Structure 1
Amino acid sequence: MARVTVEDCLKNVESRFGLVHLAVRRVLQLRHGTPARMENVKGNKEVVLALREIAAGVINADNIRQIEEPKPVAAEAALPEVDSGRADLQEILEEVSLYGASASVEYGSSDGFIVEEQPPESPEEE
């Protein structure tokens, strides 16, 4: 199949509306790492690959929900590394302060950016 057309896809989908929803769902799956059901010989983008799968009948409204999407890594798994990194930084700051340098930084409370308040400028009259 040289080109994928809407007519090719509509042979396997009831309406254009259904085709759009099916294609969007499949594109999102492909972008999140779900493996393609057909060989992507030309290195086409996800949209073209999704339409090719629909036109070939590999993807349809019945099986789109059964296709497993890769599970995202839990955010809690990364937290111990962050906490240990902050503990290491705090230890370094304490060592630096022992040598006479001032190193008082609180992580997480601010970015250290100080804004000085200045009075508003009054328009000059001519």
Structure 2
Amino acid sequence: MARVTVEDCLTKVDNRFQLVLVASKRARQLSKGAEPFVEWENDKPTVVALREIEEDYVTAAILDEKPTEEVQMELTEGAVAEMPVVAVPTPPGSTER
């Protein structure tokens, strides 16, 4: 396993700030169970993410992708927003309002 440095990765993205965003997003994906594109040998997710960037498996385009959870939330929120509102009658003698 070759050692990866920030300088190696800077040739693949526009600047250090973008590198941080790309690497952190990919590291989060790896932490949540995404399959790595490179061999994972007892490395932390951030190191694997940097190796993937350096080897051109991951690019800045990852920043434009919507996470699966966000897509699911949008679908759920849309379905809830489309549900009709139904008034439920209060049972006689109930003090709740």
Sort the Cα spacing of 1:69 and 1:46 in 2 relative to 1 into closer, same or farther, 3 A: farther
Which has more radius of gyration? 1
Sort the Cα spacing of 1:48 and 1:9 in 2 relative to 1 into closer, same or farther, 3 A: same
How far apart, CA to CA, are the structure 2 residues paired with 1:32 and 1:65?
A: 19
Deviation at 1:64, TM superposition (A): 5.4
What residue in structure 2 maps to residue 51 of structure 1?
50
How far apart, CA to CA, are the structure 1 residues paired with 2:9 and 2:64?
A: 18
For residues 1-126 of structure 1, the aligned pairs below 5 Å read: 2-40=2-40, 42-63=41-62, 65-66=64-65
- Structure 2: runs of 5 or more not aligned: 70-97
Deviation at 1:62, TM superposition (A): 1.6
- Structure 1: runs of 5 or more not aligned: 71-126
Are the counterparts in 2 of residues 26 and 64 from structure 1 also a CA contact under 8 Å? no
Residue 18 of structure 2 aligns to which amino acid in structure 1? Answer: G
Q: What TM-score does the superposition give when structure 1 sets the normalisation length?
A: 0.48
Which aligned segments of 4 or more residues in structure 1 are displaced greater than 2 angstroms?
A: 63-70
Larger RCO (CA within 8 A; separation ≥ 6): 2
Q: What TM-score does the superposition give when structure 2 sets the normalisation length?
A: 0.61
How far apart, CA to CA, are the structure 2 residues paired with 1:35 and 1:69?
A: 15
- The alignment yields a C-alpha RMSD, in angstroms, of 2.3
What residue in structure 2 maps to residue 77 of structure 1?
none
| Count of residues in Structure 1 that have an aligned counterpart in Structure 2 | 70
SS where residue 62 of structure 1 aligns? helix
Residue 55 of structure 1 aligns to which amino acid in structure 2? Answer: E
Percent sequence identity over matched residues? 42
